[in-house]
Amino acid sequence: AQSVTQLDSQVPVFEEAPVELRCNYSSSVSVYLFWYVQYPNQGLQLLLKYLSGSTLVKGINGFEAEFNKSQTSFHLRKPSVHISDTAEYFCAVSDQGGSEKLVFGKGTKLTVNP
């Protein structure tokens, strides 16, 4: 069975600092990987996805993620965060050619302080 581990439940950073949100997954088959963002009192919005090809994926709002198959990781990064990036971030995985379901991590709450 697949699982997703987000290693940090909370990450506080100062504005304009770089940030990395960590995500590791376990799966016995090839996967698709996603990062979603949830702003306060809203639903989830897709930030970026890895389907195939280049392991460095660029998303909206200046975020990027790197797929590392050997380490089964898909860490999210941003070189300089803004106050408006304060949100909860979810990593998710699905099987290639398998179930329609996504398996989500428990989320990382990013707080950007002035």
Partner 1 sequence: DVKVTQSSRYLVKRTGEKVFLECVQDMDHENMFWYRQDPGLGLRLIYFSYDVKMKEKGDIPEGYSVSREKKERFSLILESASTNQTSMYLCASSSTGTKYNEQFFGPGTRLTVL
Does 114 contact partner 1 by CB under 8 A? no
Burial label for 22, CB within 10 Å (0-12, 13-18, 19+), is middle
Does 13 contact partner 1 by CB under 8 A? no
Q: Find the binding residues for partner 1 in span 26-85 (CB under 8 A).
A: 32, 34, 36, 41-46, 49, 51
CB-nearer residue toward partner 1: 16 or 101: 101
Tokens of 54: 């280049």
Cβ 32 to partner 1, closest distance in Å?
4
Closest CA to 13 of 82, 62, 75, 88: 82
